[in-house]
Structure 1
Amino acid sequence: YITKIKFLGFGFYIEKSDNVRVTVHKKTKEKMKKRIREITKRNRPISSIQLSYELELFIRGWVNYYKIADMKKFLKETDEWSRRRIRMIYWKRWKRIRTRYRNLQKLGINKPKAWEWANTRKSYWRISISNSFILTRALTNDRLKSWGFISALDYYNSINL
């Protein structure tokens, strides 16, 4: 019965040792993903700086509100998914083959590979998924972090020490 309750966005579950623990409710998680999807839409005409700022504000606020909940696994999955969306945005903004080629080279990819990857016909989402190493090699997690895109899990861990 306690597992069915939703209170202020929190849900509850029972551990093996019969302890009741707090988590984020399923519907709340869906709302978070929906909001991140809105912020990281491919066709939003905002700068990368504005995008990172909006995403950071949302993530910090959300994590601070739900910080008492057990949500490490969810935040890890959400981080991976949101980084794929960010990579997809960059790939779409680079539109032309020449631009992709130049930017891939600036990010440290050698010329033949940059030319091969810039000429791919795969869709934006297909390029950004974890199986496709084109953007995960060029736009690494550390690089995204240095550009201001924070990790929800890292932020959660930093405030829950």
Structure 2
Amino acid sequence: MDGVTKFLWERLKLTVNAAKSAVARPWGRKFLGYSVTVHKETRLRIAPESLVRLRARITDLCLRGRGQRLERTIEQLRPVLRGWMNYFQHTQGRRALEEMDAWVRRRLRVIAWRQWKRPATRASRLRALGLDAHRAWKSSVNGRGAWWNAGARHMVTAMPPKYLANMGLVSLVDIHRQLQRFT
């Protein structure tokens, strides 16, 4: 690093930002939100820091959406997800996108569970979404938290990915697949 910095400073008259610059393996660094994999065949992937920033943005939007309809929250999420995926369309890994999709759906189920507040409301909403009466009642009074219930089988059955897609939620994997067709 010292040799590179000296060359850039003395020969090219460039200033080097020590906080941003480093000499390291490619998979240990990120560039414009991307990183590369360690495997024999290197592949372009989304840097972990970029995924953390997206999660923070989605969390913020979901927290703001707690007092409004789920459709409105999805409307606010849609441009963020589309824009983020358009920027990262060159990624070659799909696992991070699948995990982020599942996490977003679970966040939306958390919002629904919290909006339903009382066990009777939860049971009636779960019944309206297709669960039988006994299972809906047992699920609504289980005493677990919203995050646990959002990932539990009764909520996934009541609000599957297709249901949320019909409400307008876009899938990062689907957008990535569409963008790859055109490149």
TM-score (norm 1): 0.89
Counterpart of 1:135 in 2: which secondary structure? helix
Which of residues 79, 85, 98 in structure 1 aligns to 2:101? 79
Task: Give the structure 2 partner of residue 95 of structure 1.
Answer: 117
Matched, 1:116 2:138: yes
**Greater radius of gyration (CA):** 2
Structure 1 residue aligned with 2:4: none
1:48 CA displacement: 1.6
Cα deviation code 1:87-127 (max 9, x no counterpart) = 11101000012211211111111112222222221111111
* Aligned residues between the structures: 157
TM-score, scaled relative to structure 2? 0.79
**Superposed displacement of residue 86, structure 1:** 0.8
Q: CA deviation at 1:57?
A: 0.7
Q: Which residue of 1 aligns with 2:11?
A: none
| Superposition deviation, residue 46 in structure 1 | 2.7
Name the CA shift for 1:42/1:137 in 2 (closer, same or farther; >3 Å): farther
Q: Percent identity?
A: 27
Query: Counterparts of 1:42 and 1:95 in 2: how far apart (Å)?
Result: 17
Is the contact between residue 6 and residue 25 of structure 1 (CA under 8 Å) also seen in structure 2? yes
Q: Which has the higher contact order (CA 8 A, sep 6+)?
A: 1
Amino acid at match of 1:118: S
Answering whether residue 19 of structure 2 is matched by residue 7 of structure 1, we say: no
SS at match of 1:41: helix
The correspondence for 2:40, drawn from 13, 16, 32, is 16
Q: What are the equivalent positions in structure 2 for 1:133-152 lying under 5 Å apart?
A: 133-152=153-172
Structure 2 Cα separation of the partners of residues 123 and 105 of structure 1: 20
Q: Which runs of 5+ in 1 are unaligned?
A: none
In structure 2, what is the Cα distance between the partners aligned to 1:121 and 1:127? Answer: 9
RMSD: 1.7
Deviation digits for residues 10-41 of structure 1, max 9, x if unmatched? 21235414xx4322112111111111121222
Q: 2:59 aligns with which of 37, 46, 60?
A: 37
Q: Which runs of 5 or more structure 2 residues have no equivalent in the other structure?
A: 1-24
Structure 1 residue aligned with 2:71: 49
1:28 match: 50
Which amino acid letter does the alignment assign opposite residue 34 of structure 2?
F
Whether the 8 Å CA contact 2:119–2:140 is kept in 1: the answer is: yes
CA spacing shift, 1:111–1:14, aligned 2, 3 Å: closer
Contact 1:42 1:89 in 2 (8 A): no
User: How far 1:80 sits from its partner (Å)?
Assistant: 0.9
